Structures are given as structure tokens and as C-alpha cells.
Amino acid sequence: MANNPDQELAAETSQKHPGGRPSTYDPAYCQKVIDLGADGMSPEQISAEIDIPRTTMLSWAESYPEFSTALTRAKELEMAWWEN
């Protein structure tokens, strides 16, 4: 028995967006976060500057390895800024 095309489309769509609203994540945030960390901004200041809740940033760090790396690098640069 052949699959229903509507069921196939629904299955494909559910795999792309498992539920809820699609993420507003953009890979361009990575460089912005690094640049703000280099200016000495804390994670709280960074989240305010890019207008994203801190909890969302933490969620993105769990979901997107490149964003996690950017946050780590931003923290290192923030600390270096303050130590200088």
C-alpha cells in the first residue's frame, strides 16, 4: 500500500520543526557575541545588547556547538579585557 503524500509531507515537516515556534537563532550571532565579549561585556550585557533573553542564549549554546564556542570565547575575552 502506497503512503499518502499528505502524510509524507507532514512527516518531513515534523522532522524539520519538532514542535513549537522555530528558533530565532542566526549563526551571525556568534561573531557578535565574540565582539561584545572583547569589549568586556558580561553574558548578561551581551544578552541585553543582542536583545535575546539569557536563558535563550544558554539554550542555543546547548543546541548549537558553534554558539557554545562563541560564548566560551566571549567569556575569555571579557576576562582578559577586565584584567588589562
Residue 15 — pLDDT band, cuts 50, 70, 90?
Answer: very low
What is the C-alpha separation between 28 and 60, in angstroms, rounded?
A: 13
Closest to 46 in 3D by CA, of 71, 14, 15, 20: 71
Write out the three cell numbers for 82.
Answer: 577586565
For residue 32, CA distances in Å to 13, 68, 80 come to 31, 13, 17
Backbone φ/ψ region at 40: left (φ over 0), alpha (ψ -120 to 50), beta: left
Residue 52 — pLDDT band, cuts 50, 70, 90?
Answer: very high
Residues of the chain with pLDDT > 90: what percent?
71
pLDDT the model gives residue 7: 53
